[in-house]
Structure 1
């Protein structure tokens, strides 16, 4: 059995050696004919072309990125201007609100003062009306007395 295995291993080794010799012969022929060199040159040329194309694509992408960045910067500047304008409007609104509140307080105070003065004037008018009535009544009495004195004379 070992002899069979040994003979099988020898056969396999011989086949492998034969393939190696064939590969070397093919390799030598390819080297001699320049096929490997030609293939190598084609691969290098293809790699150079792909590298150049990748560089152009990279430059185009970088340019597009710069254009987009500039547009983004412009949008950001616009947003910042709008934010500043809104903050300014908020400050103005706050100042106006405070001013309106102050005016409202003054109006409430002036309304209270007006009501007090109105009541005082109404009271004064009432007093004047009463005094006028008394004066008219006194005048009427005086006139009656004058007429009576005149009649008596």
Structure 2
């Protein structure tokens, strides 16, 4: 039995079983059906191509395609003009902004130079105030020293005044005594 099966395998064109015979018959019919379907699809495709070509020719002859592309071209030209107008408008806005920025920068520089001048003035005033403060401090020391000298002189003068007053009162007492004696 094995030999029969092996020998049948080597003869693929000859069916060995009923199932293989049925498959062989069906494959032949399927081939015919597929061929017929392919022919039908090719015929449909050719008909559609011919119809499309006919429509294209008709559209070309009526000028619909040309009109369509002319409209598209006009739309694109208009869009290009709009873009160019927007570009010029934005360029003008940019120039104006640049002018404004230049003005702001000029004002900033003026303010900065004014602030620098004020800073220099404040520094010179501070220096002057510091010098005056040093002068006042040294004059205060001199004043305190002179005040001490004046206080000492005042004490000496008061002491001498007391001595003079004592001497005067002694002299007046002696003068009175002399007047009484006379």
Q: Match for residue 149 of structure 2?
A: 120
Runs of 4+ aligned structure 1 residues displaced above 3 Å come to: 135-153
> If the length of structure 1 is used for normalisation, what is the TM-score?
0.82
Distance of 1:55 and 1:67 partners within structure 2: 18
Alignment of 1:3-152 (within 5 A): 3-138=32-167, 140-141=169-170
Distance of 1:56 and 1:122 partners within structure 2: 95
> Which protein shows a greater Rg?
2
Distance of 1:151 and 1:46 partners within structure 2: 147
Distance of 2:181 and 2:157 partners within structure 1: 34
Name stretches of at least 5 consecutive residues in structure 2 with no aligned partner. 1-29
How far did 1:2 drift?
3.2
Name stretches of at least 5 consecutive residues in structure 1 with no aligned partner. none
Supply the RMSD in Å over aligned alpha carbons: 2.5
Which structure shows the higher helix fraction?
Answer: 1
User: How many residues are matched?
Assistant: 153
